[in-house]
Structure formats: structure tokens, C-alpha cells
């Protein structure tokens, strides 16, 4: 392609991208507004890994110093003053961070009307942490969608539209799709599937070189089992139910099994080198966002500048 063709194509591409961004932003999902408010409240003061290095993107001009090669001098900028300036490019080391929100029927459970369902909390956290990552220069995408990881406002808006599509799923495990090695995966779910299925999925993904972060979402009733007397329990996925005459009689056994499941998921994840975070939907979402971002912080290599505003 000639330089003339490139000059003609770039304005067209820029206009197309601008039109797409405006179209996406015309109907911003309320969830995105809530997620960005959450990210702002946390106030992590994100700054990414913008620093000098090999790359194509201009970063900054700086004064020419001893040891700088003569061919690094930007003569046009230097001509504007009495000093010599070097044009530095940004170190392009942004990583891809993929997100998977478990869409299975059990994720739509909330024990009281005042609580988020597990899938609502998963979507909120997905967009909030994606907002922070984009501020830090990282690329993000939803697993299972037809979009490659990208950065910028348009990418976040596309993710918001993607997670708010109300298309009920049945498969709790992330799909077996090609993902670049050395990428990151944030998997948000309730991890109530059979342990062998969970372990198989984690091994498959880890075998591709992915670094994983499990966000284990729990409704308080699932952990505390506050039920007494005659109680009917329904399984959304299996479309069946069971009635217990005195639900309190099974509380101890149930709680042991629930805790054993969570402990097994955590132990396996950490054994494979992944992070595991448990979060109840009766807790403030800021607590999970701070912890998840701290895990990603260590994996991606940038540091938060300020303390959270959460008390």
C-alpha cells in the first residue's frame, strides 16, 4: 500500500471508528454508569505502564542528554527552542484481559429483593475493573463475544452492551476459544458446578498460558442457610424441587458441604497458580473491586497511586 493510499484510508477509518463510538455511546447502559461510579469511588489512581521503550506510539519529548544517540534528536521540536529534544515512544506492553461472567441459571438467584443477583454483581464488577484497566492502558474483552481485546472508551462501551445482553446461558464453564498466550482471564461465577468440571476447565485454560483470577460470588443465604421449618428448594438448572419438613435439621451438613466446595475450588486454583477471591453479594462491591484489582496489579505490573476512599 502506498503512502497516498494510507493517507486516504486513515481519515476514513478514523471517521468509521468515531461513528461506531458515538453509536455505542448513544444508549449507554445504566450498568456502565454504575460501574464507572464504582471505579471512581474506589479511587485507585491508576496509572499504567506508560514509559519509554520500543513501540510506535508517541509518548513525550524530553531534553537531550548525555548518552542519547544523535539520531534520536527530534529536530523539528528542537528548532522551537534553544535546547535539543528527544522524541520518546511509549513502551507497548499492554496485555489482554478477558472476562467471563458465568451465565448459568443459578447465577440469577438473590435470596432477598434488596440484594443483587449473582450475575448482576458479576456484571458490575466486570465493567468496573475493565474501566480501571483501560485507564491504565490495558486491553479488555468479553470471552465468547466476537471482539478482540481493545482499549479506549469505545471498547468499554462495547463491553457494557455485551454484558447487558439478556441472553440466558446454561454453560457455567468458559468456552473453549482461542486466546493468546500470556493473557489474563477474570472468571466470575458461583463455582457450584461439579468440582471435576471446574478443575478440567482451569487446567485447560492454564495449559494455554493464561493467568487466572476467580471471583467466587456467593449469596448470603447460600453460605448461612437461614431456613427453618417446612421449606421447598428449587434447582433452576435442573427444573426440579425438593421439600424438607424441618430445614434446620440439614443446616450443619449443608454448610459443611458448601464450605468444602469453596475450599476445594480455592485450593486447586492456588495450586495451579491462579488467584481466588470470595465475595458475598451482601458486601459492598468496592471490597471485591479493590481485592481483584490488587490481584491484577501484581500480574500486570502497574501500581495504584492512592488509597481507596472506602471506609
3-state SS, the chain, equals: CCHHHHHHHHHHHHHHHHHHHHHHHCCCCHHHHHHHHHHHHHCCCECCCCCECCCCCEEEEEECCCCCCHHHECHHHHCCCCCCEEEEEECCCCCEEEEEECCCHHHHCCCCCCCCCHHHHHHHHHHHHHHHHHHCCCEEEECCCCCCCECCHHHHHHHHHHHHCCCCCCCCCCCCCCCCCCCEEEEEECCCCCHHHHHHHHHHHHCCCCEEEEEEEECHHHHHCCCCCCEEEEECCCCEEEEECCHHHHHHHHHHHHHHHHHHHHHHHHHCCCEEEEEECCCCHHHHHHHHHHHHHHHHCCCECCCCCCC
Stated pTM of the model:
0.72
In a domain, residue 11? The reply is no
**Model confidence at 109: pLDDT above 50:** yes
Of the three residues 89, 110, 137, the one that is the final residue of a domain is 89
Which pLDDT value is given to residue 185?
A: 93
Q: Indicate which CATH number applies to the domain containing 148.
A: 3.40.50
Query: 211 and 126, same structural domain?
Result: yes
Which pLDDT value is given to residue 60?
A: 65
CA nearest to 96, candidates 29, 35, 20, 148: 148
Give the lowest-confidence range in 6-10, 80-84, 144-148.
6-10
In a domain, residue 250? The reply is yes
Query: 158 and 62, same structural domain?
Result: no
In a domain, residue 1? The reply is no
Mean pLDDT in residue range 279-299 = 87
Provide the number of structural domains found in the chain: 2
Query: 80 and 147, same structural domain?
Result: no
Separation between Cα atoms, residue 112 and residue 70, nearest integer Å: 68
Query: 75 and 195, same structural domain?
Result: no
Q: How confident is the model at residue 262 (pLDDT cuts 50, 70, 90)?
A: very high
Query: 64 and 147, same structural domain?
Result: no
CA nearest to 90, candidates 54, 46, 137: 54
Query: 101 and 74, same structural domain?
Result: no
User: What is the pLDDT of the chain when averaged over all its residues?
Assistant: 79
pLDDT tens column, 150-187: 888 888 888 888 888 766 667 889 988 777 667 899 99
Mean pLDDT in residue range 211-217 = 95
Of the three residues 69, 89, 109, the one that is the final residue of a domain is 89
Mean pLDDT in residue range 296-300 = 66
Q: In Å, how far from its chain's centre is CA 169?
A: 19
Query: 66 and 129, same structural domain?
Result: no
The listed range with the strongest mean pLDDT (54-63, 89-98, 261-270) is: 261-270
In a domain, residue 263? The reply is yes
In a domain, residue 220? The reply is yes
Percent of all residues in the chain with a pLDDT value above 70, rounded to a whole number: 73
Which pLDDT value is given to residue 237?
A: 64
Which pLDDT value is given to residue 89?
A: 59
Query: 262 and 192, same structural domain?
Result: yes
Mean pLDDT in residue range 87-92 = 55
Query: 120 and 69, same structural domain?
Result: no
Query: 283 and 217, same structural domain?
Result: yes
Which pLDDT value is given to residue 48?
A: 46
Separation between Cα atoms, residue 98 and residue 185, nearest integer Å: 5
Query: 164 and 70, same structural domain?
Result: no
| Full domain range(s) for residue 76 | 58-89
The listed range with the strongest mean pLDDT (41-50, 171-180, 247-256) is: 247-256
In a domain, residue 270? The reply is yes
Amino acid at each position: 500500500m502506498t503512502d497516498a493510499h494510507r493517507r486516504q484510508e486513515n481519515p476514513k477509518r478514523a471517521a468509521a471508528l468515531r461513528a461506531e463510538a458515538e453509536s455505542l455511546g448513544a444508549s449507554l447502559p445504566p450498568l456502565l454508569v454504575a460501574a464507572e461510579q464504582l471505579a471512581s469511588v474506589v479511587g485507585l489512581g491508576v496509572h499504567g505502564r506508560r514509559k519509554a521503550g520500543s513501540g510506535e506510539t508517541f509518548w513525550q519529548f524530553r531534553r537531550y542528554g548525555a548518552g542519547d544517540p544523535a539520531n534520536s534528536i527530534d529536530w523539528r521540536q528542537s528548532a522551537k527552542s534553544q535546547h535539543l529534544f528527544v522524541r520518546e515512544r511509549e513502551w507497548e506492553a499492554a496485555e489482554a484481559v478477558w472476562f467471563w461472567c458465568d451465565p448459568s441459571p443459578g447465577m440469577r438467584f438473590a435470596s432477598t429483593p434488596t440484594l443483587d443477583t449473582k450475575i448482576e454483581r458479576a456484571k458490575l464488577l466486570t465493567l468496573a475493573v475493565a474501566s480501571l484497566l483501560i485507564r491504565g492502558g490495558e486491553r479488555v474483552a468479553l470471552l465468547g463475544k466476537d471482539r478482540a481485546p481493545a482499549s479506549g472508551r469505545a471498547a468499554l462501551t462495547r463491553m457494557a452492551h455485551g454484558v447487558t445482553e439478556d441472553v440466558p446461558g446454561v454453560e457455567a464453564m468458559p468456552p473453549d476459544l482461542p486466546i493468546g498466550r500470556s493473557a489474563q482471564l477474570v472468571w466470575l461465577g458461583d463455582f457450584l458446578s461439579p468440582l471435576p468440571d471446574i478443575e478440567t476447565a482451569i487446567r485447560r485454560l492454564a495449559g494455554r498460558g493464561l493467568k487466572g483470577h476467580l471471583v467466587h460470588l456467593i449469596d448470603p443465604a447460600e453460605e448461612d442457610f437461614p431456613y427453618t421449618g417446612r421449606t421447598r428448594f428449587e434447582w433452576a438448572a435442573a427444573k426440579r424441587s425438593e421439600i424438607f419438613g424441618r430445614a434446620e435439621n440439614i443446616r450443619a451438613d449443608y454448610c459443611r458441604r458448601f464450605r468444602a466446595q469453596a475450599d476445594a475450588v480455592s485450593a486447586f486454583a492456588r495450586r495451579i497458580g491462579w488467584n481466588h477471591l470470595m465475595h458475598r453479594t451482601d458486601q459492598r462491591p468496592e471490597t471485591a473491586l479493590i481485592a481483584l484489582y490488587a490481584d491484577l496489579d501484581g500480574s500486570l505490573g502497574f501500581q495504584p497511586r492512592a488509597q481507596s476512599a472506602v471506609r
